[in-house]
Structure 1
Amino acid sequence: GGHRDPVIKELQALCDRAIGLELKPVADIDNVLWEKFVTLAAFSGGTSLMRSGIGPILDDPEARIFIEQLRDEGMAIAAAAGHPLAEGFERRVTTRWSAFPPHVKSSMANDLERGKPIEVAWLSGRMHQLGIEFGIATPGHTAVFRALHLYAAGAAA
C-alpha cells in the first residue's frame, strides 16, 4: 500500500514539518473515495432538495428518513461496485452530520439558492445511473436528480 512507499513516507515527513498540512496515507484509497462520494451525494442531495440546513433535516423524522435513505442507497451502490463500506459507516456519517451547526448545508444547496450551476448530475445523477447499471433501486437519488436537473446549468430555484 501507499503507506510503505518511500515517496509517500518522505511526503508525510514534509507535511508533518509544515504548518497546517496533514497527510494521512491509506491502504485502500478506493474505499475512502466511495465513503466520500456516498456521504457527499446524500448530504448535497438532501440539503439541496429540502432547501435546509442539516439540523432541521436531522430533527424532523420524515426528512431524516430521506437523507438516511440517500446514504443507504449510496452504500448499496458502493457494495455493488465491489467496495462495501465498513461496519459503523452509517453511525459515523450521522455523527459527523450531527456535529455540524444546524444551519450548515452543502455547497450545492448554496449554489442552487444563488442560481449558480450545481453538480447534481455528478452526485445524485451518478447514483441514479449506477443504480440502473447494477440493478439497484435508488428512488431517493433518482428523485433528487429528476427534481434538480433543470437547475444544473444554473437558474434561480
Structure 2
Amino acid sequence: MRIGIIGIGGVGGYFGGKLARAYGQAGPHEIIFVVRGEHLKEIQKNGLQLFTREGDYIARPTIATDNSKKARIFDLVFFCVKSYSLESSAREFSANINKNTVVIPLLNGVNSAQRLRAVLPKANIISGSVYIISSIEKPGVVRQKDGACRLMFGTDDESAQKYKYIFDILLQAKIDAKLTNKISEVLWMKYLLMCPVGSLTSATGKTYGAIMDDPILRQKLKGMMQEVFAVARARKVLLPKDAVDKTLQLAGSFGHDSKTSMQLDREKGRQTEIDALTAYLCQTGKEFGIPTPLHDEIYTQLK
C-alpha cells in the first residue's frame, strides 16, 4: 500500500515516524511524507529525528515531498494538518485521492470528516482521533512530550470492521491503535477535553497544572466541560454520565507544565484552531438552543 501522511508536525511526525520506521525503507508499504520548507529539506537530507517516551530514533520515509505529482495516488492517507488548513490541503492533493483511497483526518475538533467529504466527495472518508502532546522542535526534529500516544479510528456502525487491515498495519508499526464502531463518541470525548482546555489555557496563558491548581479556574474548566457535554447530547452523541468527572481527572494527569497546541500557537503569534474548537462549540450551541456562556466569553476574548 501507498500510505500518505499530510502534515509532519507533532501528530504526523509521531505516527508517520512510526510508520516510516517500520515500512519506509523496506517491507510491503510505501510511506510518503507531505511536508514543506526547511522541515522537508532536513527530512530529505537526514531523515526525521524523533524524541519519544519509547526512545529516540530517526525515521526515513520512502518519499518526502511537497509535490503532489511526486506523491502519486494514495491507498491510505492521514491528514495531520492544522484545522484551518484542512480544506486547502485536501484541494491541493485531491488528484492523489480517488474512490479507493481511505482518508482519515487526525485533527482536533469533531467535524473534520464532514468537512473533507465536501472537498473530496468521491473518497472513502472515515474519522480518526489521537491523544498526544508533541510538536516540531526545529526543522527535522519532532519531540513527543506527553499524552497517551493513542490513535483511534472507525465509523459509527459495524462497517468499521472492513478497516481492520489498517488496524493491522498500525499495530505492526507498534502504534497504539484502536478500531471502533463508536467513533462519534470517541471524537466528542476528546473534544470534551480539548475544547475547554485549549480555550482556557489560551485565554489565561496558564499550563494544565496551573489551571488544575487554581480552584476558580478548575471550576470554570468543569463548567466548560459541562457545556460541551450538553451540546453533545443535543447532537444525539450520548457520552457516559461520568464523562465530565473522568475528563477533568484526565486533565489533571498531564504534566504540570504541559501546554495545549492552541495555547502554543497563540503564544507564538500563529493562527490558532479557535474555529474548530471554541467557535464550533458556540455556534453549535446556538443552533441547538444550548447555552454556552463560558465558551462565549472566551471566544469573545480570543477572536
What displacement does 1:23 show? 2.3
User: Is 30-39 or 136-145 further displaced after alignment?
Assistant: 30-39
Gap runs ≥5 in structure 1: 150-157
* Matching residue within 18, 23, 34 for 2:188: 34
1:142 maps to 2:296: yes
Q: Percent identity?
A: 27
* Matching residue within 118, 126, 134 for 2:280: 126
Q: How does 1:62-141 map to 2 (within 5 A)?
A: 62-141=216-295
Gap runs ≥5 in structure 2: 1-157
What amino acid is the match of 2:166? L
What amino acid is the match of 1:111? D
What displacement does 1:65 show? 1.1
Instruction: Describe the SS at the equivalent of 1:23.
Output: strand
Paired residue for 1:10? 165
Using the size of structure 1 for normalisation, the TM-score is: 0.86
What amino acid is the match of 1:55? G
Greater relative CO (CA pairs within 8 A, separation 6+):
1
User: Is 139-148 or 30-39 further displaced after alignment?
Assistant: 30-39
Paired residue for 2:206? 52
Instruction: Describe the SS at the equivalent of 1:100.
Output: coil
Do 1:2 and 1:25's aligned partners in 2 also have CA atoms closer than 8 Å? Answer: no
C-alpha RMSD of matched pairs (Å): 1.5
Bigger proportion of residues as helix = 1
Instruction: Describe the SS at the equivalent of 1:99.
Output: coil
Post-superposition Cα deviations, 1:35-71, rounded to whole Å, max 9, x if no partner, equal: 1222211110111111100111111111111111111
Do 2:285 and 2:292's aligned partners in 1 also have CA atoms closer than 8 Å? Answer: yes
Bigger proportion of residues as strand = 2
Instruction: Describe the SS at the equivalent of 1:123.
Output: helix
Do 2:193 and 2:251's aligned partners in 1 also have CA atoms closer than 8 Å? Answer: no
2-side partners of 1:95 and 1:144: how far apart?
22
2-side partners of 1:99 and 1:23: how far apart?
21
Runs of 4+ in 1 over 3 A off after TM superposition: none
Instruction: Describe the SS at the equivalent of 1:52.
Output: coil
Do 1:41 and 1:123's aligned partners in 2 also have CA atoms closer than 8 Å? Answer: yes
What amino acid is the match of 2:164? K
Q: 1:119 to 1:17 in 2, by over 3 A?
A: closer
Using the size of structure 2 for normalisation, the TM-score is: 0.46
